[in-house]
Amino acid sequence: MAALEIRGITKTFGKLVAVDRVSFVVEPGRITGFIGPNGAGKTTTMRIAATLELPDDGDVLLDGVSVLDDPRAVRAKLGFMPDSYGAYPSTTLWEYLDFFARAYDLTGDLRRHRVEEVLDFTSLGPLREKEMNSLSKGLKQRLCLAKTLLHDPSVLILDEPAAGLDPRARVELRELVRALAGMGKAILVSSHILTELAEMCDDIAVIEAGQLKAKGSVHDVTRGIQNVVPVFVCVLEGVEVLERALLEQPGVERVRRDGEGVVFEHAGTPEMLSGVLAALIAAGLRPIEFTPRGMDLEDVFLSLTEGKMQ
Amino acid sequence: MISGARSDRWNAVFLKELRQALRGRTFALTFPVTVLLGVGLAIAVLVDAAGRPNLGPTVFLPIVGVLGVAALGLVPFSAFQSMAGEWDESTHDLLVLSHLSPMRIVLGKLLTGAVESALYVCAFLPLLFFTFLLTGVSVIDVVGLVALLFAASLAMSCLAMALAGVSRAKMWRVILLALLAGVGFLTWLGGFYLVESVVQRGRGITSPYMLDELGVVLCLILFVGWVGLAFAATRIAHPEDDRSGPVRIAVTAAHVVALLWLALDPFGSIGRTPVLPVTMAFGVVTACFAVFFVTEPDRLPRRAAARIPKNPVLAVLATPFLPGGGRGVLWWLLQLAILFVWAVCVSEPTTASTSGVWDVRAWSAATIEGWAALMAYFLVYLAGFSLALTGLRRRSYGPLAARLILPSVAVLSMVLPILIGFLVENKRWSQGEHALMPFWVATNSGASDPRRVAIAIAILVLVTNAQRLVQAVQEVFQASRARRTRAAQREEVAVHAA
């Protein structure tokens, strides 16, 4: 059973269809990146999954529990980190976490233990007596993540967690999210910073104008778009021989010089590509580099979306 | 202690708010300033009036005036800010996602207001008791008035939270804050007059006249506090949750308790109940709430549907208290029925009766017809017109527009003939003696034709509303059945799993 299953949800605001029959799943221990331009319907989808909005149609299941039937049970399993985190003035980090731990009905030693645990996990322990308002944005994001983890949810929904963070804070946040996935939590994370998601996510779901454009593992989605794989080959000597040899191989299209080496486009399976390398070696060529150049997430995003606004 | 194990069972919002309030700049500044102002004023009055006999009341009034500003102004303002802050600081979603129910959240904020009020009272209490030593003020008066002020402060805090939840737009917030300030000022003025009556005019809090007056004030405080608290809780709830049920229950309970108190007069302090003014007042007050309920969208919100009792009998009994315009009409019918029964029972018997007002034989047909006509007008003005606005209510701005149109139409129906009467020099119309004026028709036995017409129109309104009412009940039945089915399916799955 998927930890989070979004099942054909539709949400309209007046005449605007914010989310249109969107379906995908998030598996335990995996990080799913939710990608889309501004106003694509990411936040609405996440808020529906977090029980804060209701879909006009469809349903969202968390460990098989419907957000429509039992929102309270869903909230117990869910950690939601909204894009605008809430801060209370005149409150220290420890008090903030203690308050939310109480709000999740954690009592006595268990509450204190959990607060200590999340403070340690997010490396905020030394700052526990600091007031929230004096924290940097990166630390506030970490505190918000700590708050989200207090009741040990099995599913995490993180809406733009890396927005506005400096590179170091981003790296730290990425490490934290990866560590959480390592604990078996299912994580749905949206971000505009695609390089960030590329390094973090196992799966992606691409949404535009309320409609899901693609979903699946990063590799599968990339392969789905990328019919031909550009491959760079460099040999010790005999570039002309290399060009001719490549043109004789099955699946090889368009061969061109690229600096010291050659780039060819390959339209076959990975097995066929491996056969190309074997054939080159058999032909007496001595390759020193043989690198398939895949699309990055930014290429995937640009290829899938049309820049539609709504 | 606040963070210790003993506080495990305390309201989490209360603990958090208390920490914030006591550490925040607002309280740190206003508390000493208010106390210093009270002390300074007391000394100034004492010096000015030195040598006069019975100085107590002279010093008591300014001190309680300053305490009133803190309890009725500063504390509710703090509650308003705290509630509005949940949306402004984007913490509302985080609270909603936690295990805290809306009622626990508002109760936590109310408790914080109570502690703030109590701190002000504790700071002023030595000064107030000092006036007892100056003679002229009894200890009972001091304790009673301070307790009343404390209760009024809590009610104002409830009202403040309710107003803060009405809108998230900054402009509306300013208007609502101004409204709160206005109500606070009027309450302060009324309170000041009350205190003056007790201490300055020497009536004493235990005199029968003052007991009556204080009883009415206390009822008003309880009503405002109760309804304010229920309304504030509904504003925190999800739009698909039951957002009007708590208010419907609170108003009905207040309505029934107040009418029973008036009818039974347990302390013997009311004497003869002025039936017509009470019926009119209760009708108008409940109508103010009914305007909101009958103009709600007719559909039963999904999360409210998920909590409808599985027992069909309980589901039917709960119907008028569930959200939805049609169920709002049922709620209104229930209030009118309660008011009608009360008015008929409490009315003076027209024939000699051995068992008092509860003797059915003593009621004249004219009395019953009069009260029925009054209820008929109430029904027509609200339920009838709300049905006419069905098309409008479906639009996004519809409920707000309908809430403005309904009372306007009702008031215009009563006032326009009066204006026309002035213009055409019709004396009866200009004095409000016309068929659209419910209070005249209900009490004037000579107006039996308009009474019957009003009752007939009310029956027509009920008939035209029938589909809406049936649908309102059907929706509840279906939701109840759906819950039973789901429960049965879950049991079946559990049995299979076992």
Q: Is the pLDDT of residue B246 over 50?
A: yes
**What are the φ and ψ backbone dihedral angles of B283, each rounded to 5 degrees?**
-60, -45
Q: What is the pLDDT of residue B3?
A: 55
Q: Is the pLDDT of residue B352 over 50?
A: no
Tokens of B299: 């559909």
Q: What is the pLDDT of residue A308?
A: 64
- Contact (CB<8Å) A70/B306: yes
Q: Can you spell out the DSSP letters for B122-173?
A: HHHHHHHHHHHHTSSS-HHHHHHHHHHHHHHHHHHHHHHHHHHTT--SHHHH
Of A69, A86, A102, the CB nearest to B91: A86
pLDDT one-digit tens code per residue, B122-173: 999 988 888 888 877 888 888 989 999 999 999 999 999 999 988 888 888 9
Q: Is the pLDDT of residue B443 over 80?
A: no
Tokens of B279: 């019926």
- Contact (CB<8Å) B93/A86: yes
Neighbouring C-beta atoms of residue A77, cutoff 10 Å = 17
Please list every residue in chain A whose beta carbon sits closer than 8 Å to the beta carbon of residue B306.
Answer: 68-70
Q: What is the pLDDT of residue B161?
A: 95
Tokens of A17: 């269809």
Nearest Cα neighbor of A62 from A1, A103, A151, A145 is A1
Nearest Cα neighbor of B245 from B387, B386, B103, B380 is B103
> Which residues are bridge partners to A264 per DSSP?
A231, A255
pLDDT one-digit tens code per residue, B2-53: 555 667 778 899 999 988 888 888 888 999 999 999 999 988 988 887 777 7
Question: Do residues B14 and B111 make contact, with C-beta atoms less than 8 angstroms apart?
Answer: yes
Q: What is the pLDDT of residue B447?
A: 65
Tell me how long chain B is. 498
Q: Is the pLDDT of residue B345 over 60?
A: yes
- Contact (CB<8Å) B90/A14: no
Q: What is the pLDDT of residue B101?
A: 87
pLDDT one-digit tens code per residue, B96-129: 888 888 889 999 999 999 999 999 999 999 888 8
Q: What is the pLDDT of residue B355?
A: 45
- Contact (CB<8Å) B98/A75: yes
B19 at the A interface (CB within 8 A)? yes
Neighbouring C-beta atoms of residue A287, cutoff 10 Å = 14
Q: Can you spell out the DSSP letters for B398-465?
A: HHHHHHHHHHHHHHHHHHHHHHHHHHTT-HHHHTT-STT-HHHHHH-TT-HHHHHHHHHHHHHHHHHT
Q: Is the pLDDT of residue B66 over 70?
A: yes
Please list every residue in chain B whose beta carbon sits closer than 8 Å to the beta carbon of residue A102.
Answer: 8, 12, 15
Q: Can you spell out the DSSP letters for A235-261?
A: ESS-HHHHHHHHHTSTTEEEEEEETTE
The DSSP H or E segment spanning A163 is none
pLDDT-derived band at B364 (thresholds 50, 70, 90) equals low
**What are the φ and ψ backbone dihedral angles of B354, each rounded to 5 degrees?**
-90, -25
Question: Do residues B58 and B64 make contact, with C-beta atoms less than 8 angstroms apart?
Answer: no
Question: Do residues B148 and B121 make contact, with C-beta atoms less than 8 angstroms apart?
Answer: no
Question: Do residues A72 and B241 make contact, with C-beta atoms less than 8 angstroms apart?
Answer: no
- Contact (CB<8Å) B97/A75: yes
CA B10, B12, B15, B21 torsion-angle sign: negative
Distance between A106 CA and the closest CA of chain B, angstroms: 8
Q: What is the pLDDT of residue B351?
A: 47
Distance between A61 CA and the closest CA of chain B, angstroms: 16
Return mean pLDDT, chain B: 84
Q: How far is CA A75 from CA B8, B336, B425, in A?
A: 21, 41, 68
Question: Do residues A163 and A171 make contact, with C-beta atoms less than 8 angstroms apart?
Answer: no
Q: What is the pLDDT of residue B359?
A: 46
Q: Is the pLDDT of residue B1 over 60?
A: no
A13: nearest CA in chain B?
B396
CA–CA distance, A82 with A79 (Å, rounded to integer): 10
Please list every residue in chain B whose beta carbon sits closer than 8 Å to the beta carbon of residue A100.
Answer: 94, 98
Question: Do residues B151 and B113 make contact, with C-beta atoms less than 8 angstroms apart?
Answer: no
Tokens of A178: 């990866």
Q: How far is CA A219 from CA A79, A179, A204, A224, B230, in A?
A: 27, 21, 9, 8, 53
CA torsion A106-A112-A118-A123 (nearest 10°) is: 160
The percent of residues in chain A predicted with pLDDT above 70, rounded, is: 95
Most A CBs within 10 Å, among B11, B95, B98, B397, to test the A interface: B98
B94 at the A interface (CB within 8 A)? yes
Q: What is the pLDDT of residue B357?
A: 42
In chain B, DSSP finds a helix count (H) and a strand count (E) of 22, 0
Q: What is the pLDDT of residue B407?
A: 82
pLDDT-derived band at B353 (thresholds 50, 70, 90) equals very low
ipTM score here?
0.78
Q: How far is CA A3 from CA A10, A161, A187, A205, B401, in A?
A: 20, 21, 9, 16, 44
Question: Do residues A206 and A214 make contact, with C-beta atoms less than 8 angstroms apart?
Answer: yes
pTM, full prediction: 0.77
- Contact (CB<8Å) A86/B92: yes
Give the start-end residues of each E strand in A14-164: 16-26, 31-35, 57-62, 65-66, 78-81, 155-159
> Which residues are bridge partners to A61 per DSSP?
A5, A66
pLDDT-derived band at B360 (thresholds 50, 70, 90) equals very low
The percent of residues in chain B predicted with pLDDT above 70, rounded, is: 91
Nearest Cα neighbor of A83 from A148, A178, A6 is A148
**What are the φ and ψ backbone dihedral angles of B481, each rounded to 5 degrees?**
-65, -40
**B241 φ/ψ sector (left φ>0, alpha ψ -120 to 50, else beta):** beta
pLDDT one-digit tens code per residue, B257-309: 888 888 887 666 666 667 888 888 888 889 888 888 888 888 888 778 878 88
* Distant-in-sequence, close-in-space partners of A277: CB < 8 Å, separation ≥ 6: A287, A290
CA–CA distance, A227 with A233 (Å, rounded to integer): 19
* CA angle (B194 as vertex; B191, B197 as ends), nearest 5: 150
Q: What is the pLDDT of residue A180?
A: 92
pLDDT (tens, 9 = 90+) of chain A, 310 residues, equals: 789 999 999 999 888 899 999 999 999 999 999 988 888 899 999 999 999 888 888 999 998 888 887 888 899 999 999 887 778 888 899 999 999 999 998 988 899 999 999 999 988 889 999 988 888 888 888 899 999 999 999 999 999 888 777 888 888 888 889 999 999 999 999 987 777 777 788 898 989 889 998 888 877 777 766 677 788 999 988 888 898 899 888 888 888 888 888 988 888 788 888 999 999 999 888 999 998 876 677 777 777 776 665 6
Most A CBs within 10 Å, among B94, B96, B303, B485, to test the A interface: B94
Question: Do residues B46 and B57 make contact, with C-beta atoms less than 8 angstroms apart?
Answer: no
pLDDT-derived band at B236 (thresholds 50, 70, 90) equals confident
pLDDT one-digit tens code per residue, B377-422: 888 888 777 777 766 666 667 777 778 888 888 888 888 888 988 8
3-state secondary structure B342-372: HHHHHCCCCCCCCCHHHCHHHCCHHHHHHHH
A15: nearest CA in chain B?
B396
Q: Is the pLDDT of residue B225 over 80?
A: yes
